[in-house]
Structure 1
Amino acid sequence: MRGPLPSHMGVFSCGSQTAGNTVRMVHRGIEQEEESERSRSANGTDEDPDSMQDVKQGSGASPRAASSEQLAKEEQRKVIERMLRVNHAGELGARQIYAGQLAVLGNSSVGGMIREMAQHELEHLQEFEKLVVERRVRPTVMLPLWNIAGFALGFGSALMGKEAAMACTVAVEDVISKHYNDQVRELLQPGWEHEQPLREKLRKFRDDEMDHHDIGIEHDAQKAPAYDFISNIIKQGCHAAIFVSERV
């Protein structure tokens, strides 16, 4: 775990640098993997060693069954890629929202509480930064935009007052916690047993986001001016960001 959360400007610049570093690390890994594939092709060794061993031992698996299994694995890989891509983007955005709020409310009565929630988001972000590199997942191209938009949303909501900042927190965390819950439910389906470690991480992060949601309610989020309007606008924005981040 890193030290205390830096000042709001440090967090803002760090967000951009972190996003860039993650993209470079993933691209470097993909390039190395592609180079390895080209080398195997040049040497005439495209065949998967494990598959060749099965053939030599007379495993009895038909080509059609092997092909179906490979397709299923490929589909699962794509599902995990979408999950990690959008979760990584979401945690970057959430961290920046809290950074924007701290820029305005850092010295207020809710500053310590916001700082603690920001630390949770930082821990989530660090975990997904590791996972996108380990799994060779391309981060969304929208990271620079979410970096700026997240800070602007947090800053703007805090300028409207503590209640509006909490209303922003409640709306965002409501969407994120439900999104994580959907992912947990998907990984509970048959055939996903090998992803239990990832499922447990998502479950833990979901619970953290639900705690943030409840904290916002306890700190008068619903007393914010035009609460329903603000909440609906923010939720729609979050759903749109999720849709885009999963795909580009």
Structure 2
Amino acid sequence: MSGVPSSVVEAGRIIKVNHAGEHGAVKIYAGQIATARLRARGLLPQLAEFKAHEERHRSIFDKELTRRGLPRCRSYWLCGAGGYVLGFVTGLMGARSIAAATVAVERVVLRHLRQQLLQIGFADPEATAAISSIVGEEQLHHDQSANDLRHAGMIDRVIGSVISAATESVIWIGTRA
């Protein structure tokens, strides 16, 4: 990519990783919806809403990849498979585990999105716009789930720590794929 500014190359890499992450998020909610029917029926409308948001986010990054002529991140399918397993398992564990998973994932994602916006700045307005367009809904997912988890117990904190570490790892892998 000689002649292409490094900030544009970096923005493309970020868009690829975010696209894969949004695919993972769609699959987390799909797995949770599949099993929440058994253990957390009351969360089904919220999970469907969150999944719709993540599908829109994935579409935003997909359009940006297409516009740039970039392929998907090689971690795309890993994010999807891992996300579905995470969603399925936390859904089986019930409403508190669903909330703990969402808080843990969104805490990491929001930190990364904010770092990306600082990193890209004004160098790539399209990437900045794509990332900025999803921050509000990601914050909503975090805040609503944190409210559902007001009195987190030890198991909720353990689940959250493990999921946060896994989310960081998947992002790290994606940035190198």
After TM superposition, the score normalised by the length of structure 1 is 0.66
* Structure with max Cα Rg: 1
Residue 241 (structure 1) shift: 0.6
Q: Which residue of 1 aligns with 2:10?
A: 79
CA distance in 1: counterparts of 2:153 and 2:58, whole angstroms: 29
CA distance in 1: counterparts of 2:76 and 2:131, whole angstroms: 21
Q: Which residue of 2 aligns with 1:187?
A: 120
CA distance in 2: counterparts of 1:159 and 1:236, whole angstroms: 21
Residue 128 (structure 1) shift: 1.0
**Structure 2 counterpart of 1:236, one-letter code:** A
Residue 142 (structure 1) shift: 2.2
Q: Does 1:148 align with 2:77?
A: no
CA distance in 1: counterparts of 2:131 and 2:77, whole angstroms: 24
Measured against aligned partners, the alpha-carbon deviations of 1:95-133 in whole angstroms (never above 9, x if no partner) come to 000000000114711110111011000000111111111
Runs (5+) with no aligned partner, structure 1: 1-66
Q: Which residue of 2 aligns with 1:227?
A: 156
Q: Which residue of 1 aligns with 2:103?
A: 170
**Structure 2 counterpart of 1:99, one-letter code:** A
Q: Which residue of 2 aligns with 1:110?
A: 43
CA distance in 2: counterparts of 1:132 and 1:197, whole angstroms: 11
Q: Which residue of 1 aligns with 2:52?
A: 119
CA RMSD of aligned residues (A): 1.8
Whether the 8 Å contact between 2:19 and 2:72 is mirrored in structure 1 is yes
* Cα 1:172–1:117 shift into 2, 3 Å: same
**Structure 2 counterpart of 1:122, one-letter code:** E
CA distance in 2: counterparts of 1:246 and 1:115, whole angstroms: 29
SS in 2 for 1:223: coil
Residue 138 (structure 1) shift: 2.5
CA distance in 2: counterparts of 1:164 and 1:221, whole angstroms: 12
* Cα 1:136–1:151 shift into 2, 3 Å: same
Runs (5+) with no aligned partner, structure 2: none
CA distance in 1: counterparts of 2:11 and 2:151, whole angstroms: 36
Residue 145 (structure 1) shift: 2.1
Measured against aligned partners, the alpha-carbon deviations of 1:42-96 in whole angstroms (never above 9, x if no partner) come to xxxxxxxxxxxxxxxxxxxxxxxxx9xx4xx431232012111100100000000
After TM superposition, the score normalised by the length of structure 2 is 0.90
**Structure 2 counterpart of 1:127, one-letter code:** I
- Structure number with higher relative contact order (C-alpha < 8 Å, ≥ 6 residues apart): 2
Whether the 8 Å contact between 2:104 and 2:164 is mirrored in structure 1 is yes
Q: Which residue of 2 aligns with 1:238?
A: 167
CA distance in 2: counterparts of 1:102 and 1:201, whole angstroms: 27
* Cα 1:167–1:197 shift into 2, 3 Å: same
Whether the 8 Å contact between 1:100 and 1:154 is mirrored in structure 2 is yes
Q: Does 1:100 align with 2:38?
A: no
* Cα 1:163–1:224 shift into 2, 3 Å: farther
Q: Which residue of 1 aligns with 2:145?
A: 216
CA distance in 1: counterparts of 2:95 and 2:5, whole angstroms: 46
1:199 to 120, 128, 140: 128
